[in-house]
Amino acid sequence: MTGRPSPHASGPPLPEPAGPLSAAVIASLPEEGPGQLSVKKADLRDSDPYGEDLQLALHVLYELHYQGFAGVPDDREWDPELLGLRAELESCFLDALRADVPAGADTEHALAPLLVEPTGFDARSVSHHLERDGELWQLREYAALRSLYHLKEADPHAWVLPRLRGRAKAGMTAVEYDEFGAGRAEEIHARLFADLMTDLGLDTAYGRYVDAAPAQALATGNVISLFGLHRALRGALVGNFATVEVTSPPAARRLAAALRRTGAGPAAARFYDEHVEADAVHEQVVRHEVVDGLLASEPELDAQVAFGIGATVLLEDRLSAALLEAWRGHRSALRSPLDQAPGVF
């Protein structure tokens, strides 16, 4: 290897800082910037583990392992200072999750509530709200926030593949293959979500809505990268994946209905239609091959899988509460409201 890699000419721009931690990370990244990471211990000590500053700093550090940023050299992905800070931020985040997720559950008991659909309207559920009462502007906000994950759908979960074996690896690979379009680029789920965004008059550029995302939305994506990038947390990643696949079909059915009711467009509804059908199959594969296969070969990971389920539910509940509080108060749930889209309103 000769010389330092050139910075990306393309890729998303670096986001605006949300506090001293994210400011220090963002300032250190551009090739023409200071190049030195300067973080005060007091800022680490005083930062809210679920807050915008810490979550944005983590998001930026994780994105170095995905698409990177315009103007940032590729080799910053493995910069020792950045990795050291990431470890400290991850420790704060993990400590908070471990304190807030009830201990002692096993996988069977952690999954059980997710397998039962509530009868009637669930006032705590975003998909129930959007199906019955949601307005098109709320669906646009929801899609903008979910784009942080869905424009790289399945990528964070792919980190676990080399860390699994046997039934768990085979089952996980089968599900990921479907997520990546079963060999057809036009069917990759990230592409289908971009089509949904186009129908909603949203910008499909990768990372476009990071600056609009509240901490709760950043955290739901960060936790997948956190679990995926650590072999020691492979069980938690499987727990996260199981939660996503088990809860997806009924929520997707409600979201497809909401999009049709509000006239969002055929591509928008198609994304969720695809998840109703595909994830109903994926749920069975994940439960009986990925989860059961992992625990058959590594039973000591049972509590960790349960922790992954509990952490995912906790963070999704926090996001749902924030969205519903804002929308029911007739306010935007975003840090910066969306521009009006021509032809959408």
Q: What is the pTM of this model?
A: 0.93
Residue 277 pLDDT exceeds 90: no
Count helices and strands (H / E) in the chain: 15, 0
User: Under a CB-based contact definition with an 8 Å cutoff, are residues 107 and 305 in contact?
Assistant: yes
What torsion do the CA atoms of 283, 284, 287, 288 make, to the nearest 10 degrees? -160
Residue 245 pLDDT exceeds 70: yes
The predicted model gives 268-279 an average pLDDT of 84
Rounded CA-CA distance 128/186 in Å is: 30
Structure confidence at residue 144 (pLDDT): 98
Residue with the two structure tokens 């699994």: 164
The predicted model gives 239-254 an average pLDDT of 93
Q: For residue 53, give the H/E element and its range.
A: helix 52-63
Task: Convert the pLDDT of each residue in 46-96 to its tens digit.
Answer: 899 999 999 999 999 999 999 999 999 999 999 999 999 999 999 999 999
Structure confidence at residue 2 (pLDDT): 43
Task: Convert the pLDDT of each residue in 180-237 to its tens digit.
Answer: 999 999 999 999 999 999 999 999 999 999 999 999 999 999 999 999 999 999 999 9
Task: Convert the pLDDT of each residue in 107-154 to its tens digit.
Answer: 999 999 998 887 778 889 999 999 999 999 999 999 999 999 999 999
The predicted model gives 225-252 an average pLDDT of 96
> How far out from the chain centre does Cα 44 lie?
23
CA distances for 109 relative to 73, 121, 307, angstroms = 45, 24, 11
Nearest to 132 by CA among 141, 144, 140, 122: 122
Counting Cβ atoms within 10 Å, is residue 325 exposed (0-12), middle (13-18) or buried (19+)? exposed
Domains in the chain: ranges and CATH: 20-99 (no CATH), 105-328 (1.20.910.10)
Nearest to 168 by CA among 223, 247, 235, 245: 235
Structure confidence at residue 1 (pLDDT): 41
More confident residue, 314 or 39: 314
Rounded CA-CA distance 245/61 in Å is: 26
| Residue 203 CB neighbours (<10 A) | 15
Structure confidence at residue 34 (pLDDT): 56
Nearest to 293 by CA among 110, 108, 176, 166: 166
Residues in Cβ contact with 324 at an 8 Å cutoff, skipping those fewer than 6 apart: 123, 124, 126, 129
Q: What is the 3-class SS of 217-256, one letter each residue?
A: HHHHHHHHHHHHCCHHHHHHHHHHHHHHHHHHHHHHHHHH
Question: Which tokens belong to 170?
Answer: 């085979």
Rounded CA-CA distance 21/37 in Å is: 10
